[in-house]
């Protein structure tokens, strides 16, 4: 019953694209503004809502979960490809900015890990006594 997952994905994509086009017109931009992201939010909200709880049992639920899990990585990969293509067309400054953002993000991973580790550190036996 993967068809339920495809139907839910299609409805959320159509609604998201319509809202994205409307936002583009409202902002005076000749583009879809966030339609795919809005569709992704609709899909996540729909799969977690109480209204679809009846559909999410059994084989239909497997289809909905499958397409919900597949949609987000596919959209992220498509967006990343578009960003790289735009950066290559934008010249060396755009490529430098992209590489710098990745390096800063990688450098911040240990810092963020240390911040999270201090809150959840286990209490040792000596400290407990």
Domain ranges of the chain: 2-89
CB 29 within 8 A of CB 10: no
Residue 45 has a pLDDT of 84
Distance CA 129, CA 125 (A): 7
Residue 119 has a pLDDT of 53
Distance CA 115, CA 97 (A): 27
Residue 89 has a pLDDT of 75
- Whether this prediction's pTM lies above 0.85 is answered by no
67-75: which pairs have CB atoms within 8 A and are 24 or more residues apart? 67/2, 67/5, 67/6, 67/8, 67/9, 67/43, 68/5, 68/8, 68/9, 68/43, 68/44, 71/9, 71/40, 71/43, 72/40, 75/36, 75/37, 75/40
Q: What averages of pLDDT result for each successive group of 10 residues across the chain (129 residues)?
A: 72 89 88 83 81 70 75 74 70 82 92 74 56
Residue 125 has a pLDDT of 56
Residue 120 has a pLDDT of 54
Residue 43 has a pLDDT of 82
Residue 114 has a pLDDT of 85
Of the candidates 69, 34, 76, the one whose C-alpha atom is nearest the C-alpha of residue 48 is: 69
């Amino acid at each position: 019953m993967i068809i339920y997952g495809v139907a839910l994905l299609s409805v959320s994509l159509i609604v998201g694209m319509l809202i994205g086009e409307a936002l583009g017109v409202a902002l005076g931009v000749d583009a879809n503004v966030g339609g795919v992201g809005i569709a992704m939010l609709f899909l996540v909200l729909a799969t977690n809502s109480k209204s679809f709880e009846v559909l999410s049992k059994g084989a239909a639920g497997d289809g909905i979960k499958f397409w919900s899990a597949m949609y987000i990585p596919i959209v992220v990969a498509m967006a990343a490809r578009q960003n790289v293509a735009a950066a290559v067309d934008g010249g060396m400054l755009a490529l430098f900015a992209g590489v710098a953002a990745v390096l800063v993000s990688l450098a911040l991973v240990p810092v963020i890990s240390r911040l999270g580790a201090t809150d959840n550190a286990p209490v040792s036996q000596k400290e407990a006594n």
